[in-house]
Amino acid sequence: MAMVVLLWLCASLPWLTVSMRMDRLAQLRQDTVDMFYHGFSNYMKHAFPEDELRPLTCSPLTRDRNDPSRVELNDALGNYSLTLIDSLSTLAILAGGPQDGPYTGPQALSDFQDGVAQFVAHYGDGRRGRSGEGSRARGFDLDSKVQVFETVIRGLGGLLSAHLFAVGELPISGYDPKPMPRSNDDKDDHDEDDPLQLAPIAWPNGLQYDGQLLRLALDLAERLLPAFYTRTGIPYPRVNLRTGIPFYVNSPLHWSSSGQNGQTRLDGDRLEITETCSAGAGSLTLEFTVLSRLTGDSRFEHAAKRAFWEVWQRRSEIGLIGNGIDAEQGLWIGPHSGIGAGMDSFFEYAFKSHILLSGHDMPNVTSPTTATKTRLDPNSLHGPLPRELHLSDTFLQAWREAHASVKSHIYTNRSHFPYYSNSHRATGQPYTMWIDSLGAFYPGLLALAGEVEEAIEANLVYTALWTRYSALPERWSIRENNVEPGIGWWPGRPEFIESTYHIYRATQDPWYLHVGEMVLRDIRRRCYAPCGWAGLQDVRTGEKQNRMESFFLGETAKYMYLLFDPDHALNKLDAAYVFTTEGHPLIIPKGHGPRASLRQLQKQRSVKEKKRKKKKVQGLASASQEARHEEEHLFINTCPAPPVLLDPLTGSSTAARPDLFGVSRFTNLYNTPNIHGPMLQVVVPDSDNKRLVTKYRPLSNHTLFPWTLPPTMLPPNGTCVAPMQRIISAIEFPASDAATSLLSRFGASLTWHSYLGPTAKSLEGLRLQLEREFSDRHGDYVWKITHAGNTQLGRQESVFFHGEHVRQLRDEAFTALRQQDLVEVHLLVDVNPPHTFSETNQHKNDTPASQQKTCPSSSSSSPPHLLANDNEPEHKKESSPPFHALQALPPESLLKHLFRAVTSAFDPSETSSPNSQSHSSGQSSPPKTVLYAWQALSSVGPGSHPLPTVLDSPLPDSPGYNAQDPMSHLPWENIYLGGQACHAALPESAPQDNQVIVLQRGGCPFSQKLDNIPSFSPGAESLQLVIVVDEVQDQYHDEDGDNDDDDIDGDDDYGADSSAPPHAEPLPRPLLETEQRTPTGAKRLYDIPLVLMRVGKGEYELFGRARGVGLRSKYAIQSQGLLIENAIVL
């Protein structure tokens, strides 16, 4: 008998722990349905047709017309029954779920259809005739000034999603909408080619649904179009649904026929603020694209995509977008960057636009682009969008770049559990020390994009915070380890449960079901009100708000229900559908079957035309794909498998993670009393009432989270890693006096030339703080400079030192070590020689090297970079360096950033060439010179020889640089170009009369090239160095030396990094496998040093018109025997 019991336990235990029991899931679903209907029924009873419900007083909440400054209320509440619109898609989802109780299945479907009927009765059916007049308004003809973003995601998204459910494009189990046959009279009344006239579907409540919500959505969207009338394409933040944008006096919409702005206000109010945010401007693509595809009106899709790309092209050099942006000027307002409020849904729509557009044709690009009084089209202000910017893959590329920048500069894991900080947009430096609740969406987005491990890690922080506060505070201070004062509310936001839902779908880990259970039980305990669900004004005290936001029913309840219904039809839908940032499911229909419009029902597209368009789109997509082919391996292209379950008896890989205590420690959860555990009953006196009262005191703090997690899900021998101990060091360079030391502490010895970090102008009094970290790149512990002076550096920032300042330092705290395998080659070149480069190379059909885009190098070699232009006019001194110098290296290469910093910051003042004198107007001007730099690798093997000992060639504006005579820094003037030097010996004069011989790689081994150099007598004027160049061919360029982007329509540059060439293979150090010999076979008496470097096509010829060559040593910095990883020696 005992054996039978043991076998039964072994068989049943996995079922008890691997997943939540079905009856428990059913109960949680029913509790969620009850929660939704408690809010929805009370809204319909006490608040409809107003926008929202006051749950504490059982009254409606509407706009504050007496105080327009209350944007937190007026931006969203447009007087068009907002909560009903936001709730329709939730009702449709409940209608498609199992009939666990009285409110799901047929009842929810009936409520959905009744909700549509009531909305149509109040606002009309969207037609021009009498049926378009509702009891409350004709469509959205309302005197309401609303925020464009909120109106799109709540109003427009809600209408479109409900329409897609109504016509069957989104699934509702048991609902099969069949169009009614049309009579001849009906056919005469309606245009069968009109996509807005759908075949009617008869509903039991008497409504014949024929696209009423779609027509109303079009009416609403057209009323939003005036906001897009800006010079930048970035929409204004607000619009009046009736009068448009009279308060934005600078809008081109108000220009007269002559094109001049009258600067006249129509309402006499103060000037309106034109600041919008990245999320508000860039998170419109999903709703507007679906609307355009359903109606055949491309205005909305084009305007929304243009706004997205206009924001994206303004990202900083490190790829970060800001928060506030001026719609008229296109300039960022403030330096703040992050993933939270003001920026959140921009990332979301980048990736979800890729999903939504996948597998669909290009949008209509032939629709009219001229505006009339009755048909506004803001796209008429701009040229057409490039075709590439309509493609799904281009949005995917934007997401990948945005995610990479966030991971590099926003993601923070230094000395504590990882989280996403708020950083400086331009530099990545820490900006604010708090986490906001809106950022809780990001883990769910990561899960959708296949970044599951990062998603799980990120979601742990929000789970621990919810466990601590039984809600998610609007802002949580990392520095104070507590809620930000005065910003501790939770208005029922859905972001946390949204991410929990998406991660559960990706992992099937039951841990997330218990997280959802925790959220549901906390809401029911803390937010219940007589007539709905109240938000929390302070998550610490439990003070309630007298407001039920529409998104509580539209998002929070929806995601929670779908989490507890794994078999819902929407969870099983194999199609490119997305949830908007307001939680409304959207899809672009394929246009087949009885759910299509009359035109789609009765006409079929030409197969030939369809194939032609498909081929055209595929051609554009393949061009984009080829340009990025070499980078694909860097990204996740398929959904990863769920995390490996190390202990199948526990059923949860998340509960077994060794870093759970790190999260608890980071959020101070382990010091928070657990009110859900054992309690101690204590009787204490009540001084106010002069009596004894009974109180309960928790006997323990939180150790596990969520607090609903059953102990059976914990691993039997689970352990957590010990907190990492911070090892910090400080370096302070001596100062000549106290004043210098004080000024250095405030940054006087530092200067910021670029986003890469500060450059030390002087070491005097400079103070550095270092922290020891493990470097995956070096496979060992290294130091990272975290503070320079009083400034905290960003994660990717470095501190740059001039080699002239540090190369002699040999101290235990700060030592400069010369790199033996790497050297920098400097080349001074005439820009306008007597015979131009193009004239001397016409037979090769080459363009000047200064116009070439060069192939990228490895981390140990680089193409040339323009360091100085000795005759550049003063008005160009602050401009960016030449294009080829900036595009020479891949985006993630530190060398690219380093040389960008050098080229943009160290241009000298205007000088003449060394031998120039004053010239009369009749004489030719002196040749202009520029200084280039490559990184080169020294040789190895039996035939290798140390590099010559010469003074380092200084960088422009570095200590010792002479801008009046740049040639004075370069030791070698005579250069010989010897080709490949494989088949015959070079002339005797080549090594005797030239100090540098430049050879081309290939054709024979490096040793053979040196063997073909005749013997010579060593001297200052004879051979000192052989440079072998690996010249990249023009496989990435067309015959004109230009990028193959000419087939992309449009004149605007939206910042796509399509010009970046694929990664080249790293260069090895050149191997000289035999001892050096002369052409006669004799052993060479004086060996020749050799270096190898990579150059672009045509840049080998640069040496033919060079005026001088020099070398500059490369150094690494160590402290206490460890490398300082982000100390860069220029």
With cut-offs at 50, 70 and 90, classify the pLDDT of residue 1059.
Answer: very low
Alpha carbons 575 and 589: distance in angstroms, whole number: 10
Identify the bridge partners of residue 772 per DSSP, sorted by sequence position: 783
**CA-to-CA separations, 580 to 263, 353, 555, 565, 577, in angstroms, rounded:** 37, 10, 10, 20, 10
Identify the bridge partners of residue 1090 per DSSP, sorted by sequence position: 1026
- Residue 123: what are its φ and ψ, rounded to 5°? -125, 5
1091 contacts 823 by C-beta, under 8 angstroms: yes
Contacts 24+ apart (CB under 8 A), 123-128: 123/80, 123/81, 123/216, 124/216, 125/212, 125/215, 125/216, 126/196, 126/211, 126/212, 126/213, 126/214, 126/215, 126/216, 126/218, 126/219, 127/215
Alpha carbons 137 and 795: distance in angstroms, whole number: 54
Taking only the tens place, the pLDDT of each residue in 875-934 is 333 333 332 333 333 333 334 434 434 443 333 222 223 333 333 344 445 557 788 888
With cut-offs at 50, 70 and 90, classify the pLDDT of residue 591.
Answer: low
- DSSP H/E element including 43: helix 22-46
Q: Quick one: tokens of 161?
A: 């999603």
The annotation status of 581 as a binding-site residue, yes or no, is: yes
375 contacts 627 by C-beta, under 8 angstroms: no
Burial degree of 738 (CB within 10 A; 0-12, 13-18, 19+): exposed
Residue 1041 clears pLDDT 80, i.e. is over it: no
Closest CA to 996 of 977, 979, 980, 1009: 977
Lowest mean pLDDT among 302-311, 989-998, 1058-1067: 1058-1067
Mean pLDDT of 181-195: 63
839 contacts 873 by C-beta, under 8 angstroms: no
Alpha carbons 664 and 461: distance in angstroms, whole number: 8
Amino acid in the structure at residue 697: R
Amino acid in the structure at residue 971: P
**How many CA atoms lie within 13 Å of 515's alpha carbon, on the beta-carbon side?**
29
With cut-offs at 50, 70 and 90, classify the pLDDT of residue 750.
Answer: confident
Lowest mean pLDDT among 18-32, 45-59, 220-234, 734-748: 734-748
**CA-to-CA separations, 864 to 471, 867, 1064, 1104, in angstroms, rounded:** 56, 9, 15, 15
With cut-offs at 50, 70 and 90, classify the pLDDT of residue 832.
Answer: low
Residue 595 clears pLDDT 80, i.e. is over it: no
Residue 255 clears pLDDT 90, i.e. is over it: no
Alpha carbons 549 and 349: distance in angstroms, whole number: 23
pLDDT of the residue at 1042: 41
Lowest mean pLDDT among 177-191, 302-316, 980-994: 177-191
First to last CA, the chain: 80
Amino acid in the structure at residue 356: L
154 contacts 582 by C-beta, under 8 angstroms: yes
pLDDT of the residue at 700: 86
- Hey, which residues are catalytic here? 150, 344, 474, 495
Alpha carbons 47 and 430: distance in angstroms, whole number: 45
Q: What is the DSSP letter of 1092?
A: E
Lowest mean pLDDT among 493-502, 738-747, 921-930: 921-930
Alpha carbons 64 and 76: distance in angstroms, whole number: 11
Taking only the tens place, the pLDDT of each residue in 348-405 is 999 999 999 998 877 765 554 555 556 899 999 999 999 999 999 999 999 999 999 9
Share of the chain above pLDDT 90, in %: 56
With cut-offs at 50, 70 and 90, classify the pLDDT of residue 1034.
Answer: low
Residue with tokens 């979301």: 348
Taking only the tens place, the pLDDT of each residue in 44-100 is 999 999 999 999 999 999 999 888 889 999 999 999 999 999 999 999 999 999 887
Indicate the SS3 state at residue 52.
strand
Alpha carbons 155 and 287: distance in angstroms, whole number: 10
Q: Quick one: tokens of 85?
A: 């619109």
Amino acid in the structure at residue 672: T
Mean pLDDT of 945-971: 83
Q: Quick one: tokens of 140?
A: 């959205």
Taking only the tens place, the pLDDT of each residue in 291-300 is 999 999 999 9
Residue 605 clears pLDDT 50, i.e. is over it: no
Indicate the SS3 state at residue 758.
strand
Residue 696 clears pLDDT 70, i.e. is over it: yes
Mean pLDDT, the chain, rounded, equals 82
With cut-offs at 50, 70 and 90, classify the pLDDT of residue 256.
Answer: low
pLDDT of the residue at 372: 54
Residue 329 clears pLDDT 60, i.e. is over it: yes
**CA-to-CA separations, 897 to 199, 318, 714, 867, in angstroms, rounded:** 59, 10, 47, 13
Instruction: Quickly list H helices, 471-606.
Output: 495-507, 511-526, 550-551, 557-563, 598-602
Taking only the tens place, the pLDDT of each residue in 840-886 is 333 333 323 322 322 333 333 344 454 444 433 333 333 333 323 33
With cut-offs at 50, 70 and 90, classify the pLDDT of residue 820.
Answer: confident
Question: Which residue has better confidence, 489 or 892?
Answer: 489
pLDDT of the residue at 69: 86
414 contacts 795 by C-beta, under 8 angstroms: yes
Question: Which residue has better confidence, 781 or 628?
Answer: 781
**CA-to-CA separations, 366 to 541, 643, 714, in angstroms, rounded:** 58, 48, 60
pLDDT of the residue at 745: 63
Q: Indicate left, alpha or beta for 845 from its phi (over 0: left) and psi (-120 to 50: alpha).
A: left
Alpha carbons 779 and 78: distance in angstroms, whole number: 58
pLDDT of the residue at 103: 86
**How many CA atoms lie within 13 Å of 355's alpha carbon, on the beta-carbon side?**
20
Residue with tokens 């130091």: 783
pLDDT of the residue at 1064: 56
pLDDT of the residue at 823: 92
Sequence-distant (6+) residues with CB within 8 A of 202 are: 180, 208
Instruction: Quickly list H helices, 253-327.
Output: 278-282, 285-295, 299-312
712 contacts 650 by C-beta, under 8 angstroms: yes
395 contacts 351 by C-beta, under 8 angstroms: yes
- Residue 550: what are its φ and ψ, rounded to 5°? -60, -30
Closest CA to 1049 of 366, 393, 402, 300: 366
- Dihedral of the alpha carbons of 906, 908, 913, 917, in degrees to the nearest 10: 180
Closest CA to 975 of 951, 999, 953: 999
Alpha carbons 812 and 832: distance in angstroms, whole number: 49
Instruction: Quickly list H helices, 723-816.
Output: 738-745, 803-806
With cut-offs at 50, 70 and 90, classify the pLDDT of residue 795.
Answer: confident
Residue with tokens 């820009």: 831
Taking only the tens place, the pLDDT of each residue in 1094-1105 is 988 888 888 888
- DSSP H/E element including 23: helix 22-46
Q: Quick one: tokens of 714?
A: 């914990």
The separation between CA 624 and the C-alpha centre of its own chain, rounded to angstroms, equals: 19
57 contacts 546 by C-beta, under 8 angstroms: yes
